[in-house]
Structure 1
Amino acid sequence: MKLSSDLQAFQGRIGYEFKDLELLIRALTHGSFSSATRPDNQRLEFLGDRVLGLVMSEKLLRDDPDAPEGTLAPRYNALVRKETCADVARQVDIGAVLKLGRSEMKTGGRRKQALLGDAMEAVIAAVYMDGGLDQAREMILTLWGDRIDKVEDDARDPKTALQEWAQARKMPPPAYIETAREGPDHAPVFTIKAELSNGRSADATANSKRAAEQAAARTLLKQLESKK
């Protein structure tokens, strides 16, 4: 199979060269673009989620051998959650090589957090199947980079942290407002605005209201902390 320049550049961004390009193409194929002869990336996403979880579990245990499970769990969740996967996906510009149907492209599919996170997990599985666990581990740890070192900050529950920020300044709790809902009933995508009484706000999109609220709170916290 001839390698397109886009896929060649993408392999450079993730630091892995595929022997079986069909695995990479499948990992980048969304359900809206799939067909009887072109399977989508959902099965790979399922596997990639587990590979990511194993790699991060190993890493956290090695880095802090004395930490109890109650300390490790929030760190783990912060590293494997969909928002983090989507953030890494943006870092390597998965959106530029995603294979989407026309309807998804029209609704901004290349920027949707859920699609990006799913695709990142699928790429992890494709690397695992093509090169084995060691190659997948190397790619994951490289791409996640300093997110692992800074995981203690990211492990804080962002909605709780934002509420504490507001309370410390004698402000009412933040409001969470649903500003948009897209997609079919079985797979909705929510956009939520986290807003403080002083007018500061941030938006986030995710495939559940809770995840969108958490992401919006996290984004707003980062904005507030950058103003210190």
Structure 2
Amino acid sequence: MKSEEILTVEQRLNYTFKDKKLLIRALTRKAFAQEQKQQGKSCEDQEVYRILGDAVLKAILVEMLIQQGYDSRESITNKKSDLEKRENLGKMFEGMGIAPFIRFGIGERKQGISSQSSVLGETFEALVAAVHIDARDYEKTKKFVVDLFNKPVLESSKNRASEQSSGLDEISKIWMLTRACDNCFQVDVCATMRMCYFDITGDD
């Protein structure tokens, strides 16, 4: 990868890697690595990172859900399963604008695999692992993941709130807030209900 491409990915992730090779490996599919090896080039793929990233992501999501008030094994397990589906991770990953930088094999691109949400979700897991290895700090990794999950929630709430006119009365404002949150696919893990309310009403 070119240095400017690495910089772009880091900016979109809001994380700067000390070891850029970790980022490159997380973005490298097995098919691409095999093609490089056939040409006599050394290249490591993301597969083992996906295993680590999946495990780290599970731990962070469970902790996040507990902090959000989920207090039973069943509720935590069910919600975690929804959040960690590779299709959902892939959609979030695609919204970050990093998908074009994934190094796919020629065959994968021809088959259209490069656009599948589940495949993008695998790279999301690999990136979590790369950050975890690079940071060598669970709390930094957790902040990285939580920020990514919260960003679309915050932006969605603020965008919807900005569409409201200043003449709305208190009841209308609360109704608009409720509608905005109901349309948010992450409302159950969103801690911004009061924050959104303050954004709309100006109360503190």
State the TM-score, normalized to the length of structure 2.
0.68
Q: Which one of 150, 156, 167 corresponds to residue 187 of structure 2?
A: 150
CA offset at residue 3 of structure 1?
A: 5.2
CA offset at residue 149 of structure 1?
A: 4.6
1:48 aligns with 2:85: no
Match of 2:140?
A: 135
Match of 1:220?
A: none
Task: Give the whole-Å Cα distance in 1 for the aligned partners of 2:117 and 2:185.
Answer: 20
Task: Give the whole-Å Cα distance in 1 for the aligned partners of 2:65 and 2:22.
Answer: 29
Whether the aligned pair in 2 keeps the contact of 1:94 and 1:119 (CA below 8 Å) is no
Match of 1:15?
A: 14
Match of 1:80?
A: 84
1:24 aligns with 2:23: yes
CA offset at residue 116 of structure 1?
A: 0.3
1:71 aligns with 2:79: no
Task: Give the whole-Å Cα distance in 2 for the aligned partners of 1:106 and 1:72.
Answer: 39
> How has the CA–CA distance of structure 1 residues 4 and 48 changed in structure 2, closer, same or farther, with 3 Å as cutoff?
same
- The Cα offsets for residues 111-170 of structure 1, whole Å up to 9 and x where unpaired, read as 112220100000000000000222211111111113785137xxxxxxxxxxxxxxxxxx
Secondary structure, aligned partner of 1:32: helix
Higher strand share: 1
- The Cα offsets for residues 94-120 of structure 1, whole Å up to 9 and x where unpaired, read as 321001111111222321122201000
State the TM-score, normalized to the length of structure 1.
0.61
- The Cα offsets for residues 168-189 of structure 1, whole Å up to 9 and x where unpaired, read as xxxxxxxxxxxxxxxxxxxxxx
Whether the aligned pair in 1 keeps the contact of 2:86 and 2:119 (CA below 8 Å) is no
1:91 aligns with 2:90: no
Match of 1:106?
A: 110
> How has the CA–CA distance of structure 1 residues 32 and 102 changed in structure 2, closer, same or farther, with 3 Å as cutoff?
same
Divergent runs of 4+, >4 A: none
Q: Across the two proteins, how many residue pairs are aligned to each other?
A: 151
Q: Structure 1 unaligned segments of length 5 or more: list them.
A: 153-228
One-letter amino acid matched to 2:144:
M
Percent sequence identity is 25
Q: Which one of 61, 66, 69 corresponds to residue 66 of structure 2?
A: 61
One-letter amino acid matched to 1:82:
R
- The Cα offsets for residues 63-91 of structure 1, whole Å up to 9 and x where unpaired, read as 116x2212222111111111121112101
Whether the aligned pair in 1 keeps the contact of 2:52 and 2:129 (CA below 8 Å) is yes
Task: Give the whole-Å Cα distance in 1 for the aligned partners of 2:98 and 2:113.
Answer: 11
Whether the aligned pair in 2 keeps the contact of 1:78 and 1:151 (CA below 8 Å) is no
Question: CA RMSD of the aligned region, Å?
Answer: 2.1
Secondary structure, aligned partner of 2:16: coil
Q: Higher RCO, 1 or 2 (CA under 8 Å, sep at least 6)?
A: 2
